[in-house]
Amino acid sequence: MRALRILLIPLVTLVILVTYALGLVSGSPVQHVNSDIRGDHRLVTDLSDNEVSDIRSLAVLRMNGEDTQFAYKNATASTRFEVGSLTKLLTIELYGQAVMGGRVNTDTQLGEIFDLEGSSAATITLDELSHHESGLSEWGGPDGDGDDATTLLASLRGESAHQDASVEELLSRARQDPLNTRGSFHYSNIGIALLGLALADAAEVPYATLLADGVTNPLQMTTTTVPTSSTLNPPRGVNEAGQSVASWPLGAYAPAGGALSSAMDIARFSDYLLDTTEIPEGYPHVVYRGMNLTEYQGRTILTKTGVTGGFRSVLVLDLETDSAVIVLSDTDRSVEELAIALLSDSE
């Protein structure tokens, strides 16, 4: 039932846009409360109560049971944003499918798939990668933390230090990584990237094909793609000063943060997650299905943020209330507190 409701949103959005164009809104539950924000009256009101004036474009969906609210600022349901690390959720879904299908096991080691020349990284298991417990640093490499001068300077320029990275570059960085934090949680982009590449290798297809076959096509996520440096006219976000920022084609790091998607597609995926997620009792990790386990008003919720040079995104799932909040923005300014506030407002 919820899936049908999600499918109807594009049509509703079209009706709203036409109605506004004709100036026919009167007494509609969808109102133009804020001069910049359009959508469901309740969500627009809640957004207007939070500071979003410095965000150039915004797409927000809030689901609570069978009720879905949506609101947009300079965007529509199908506007594509760089969703950064929300891509990791798609890769983790592919991992679950690969284990269920017998293509890999939780204890499959990277050295069974890639030539890691007898390095410590060769013994990392896919399950360690999925929980950020492999010991790999954020981007991998001999310094063990990934926050080197190159990364910092590129970040200040609104660029990615690892654009168009090759698979061999990732493997080289993995071979040199001291794995200082192995066995405990340490957030790692290279770890999830290697997980996605390993799954693609096991399936004998490129990662983009695996993603389409396993997730985006079955869930009708029609706007979700993995761009490359040759992709024409990719969306570009802005920094907090409103200056345009270069897009982030991540090459081999794409399974960790390289997807473009829309509020409609993330809503479809969130719908799927709400229907299929149940946290096991006594679960020992700090992430589940790629999302952080967070305490909120006495219960556990799942959160995931995405950050690129000019975009921010957040997905929050509350399994107890069958609720979700999605915020996609093309401005490099945190929207996590906004998402949590909108979850509170829905209760």
Q: pLDDT of 43-71, one tens digit each? A: 999 998 888 989 999 999 999 988 999 99
Give tens-digit pLDDT for 85-123.
999 999 999 999 999 999 999 999 999 999 998 899 999
Contact 254, 166 (CB under 8 A): no
Q: Is 232 inside any structural domain? A: no
39 and 131 co-located in one domain: no
Residue 315 domain-assigned (yes or no): yes
Are 126 and 112 a contacting pair, CB within 8 Å?
Answer: no
From 301, 308, 332, 323, select the one nearest 260 (Cα to Cα).
308
Q: What is the pTM of this model?
A: 0.89
Last residue of one domain, picked from the residues 200, 219, 238: 219
Q: Which residues constitute the domain of residue 295?
A: 2-81+259-345
The number of domains in the chain is: 2
- Among 168, 202, 219, give the residue marking a domain's end: 219
Answer yes or no: is 254 within a domain.
no
The rounded percent of the chain whose pLDDT value lies above 70 is 83
Query: Which of 192, 219, 246 is at the close of a domain?
Result: 219
Cα angle: 123, vertex 124, 128; to 5 degrees: 150
Looking at residue 21, what is its pLDDT?
39
Is the separation of the CB atoms in 332 and 311 below 8 Å? yes
C-alpha Rg value of the chain to the nearest Å = 20
Whether 196 and 94 share a structural domain: yes
Residue 317 within any structural domain of the chain: yes
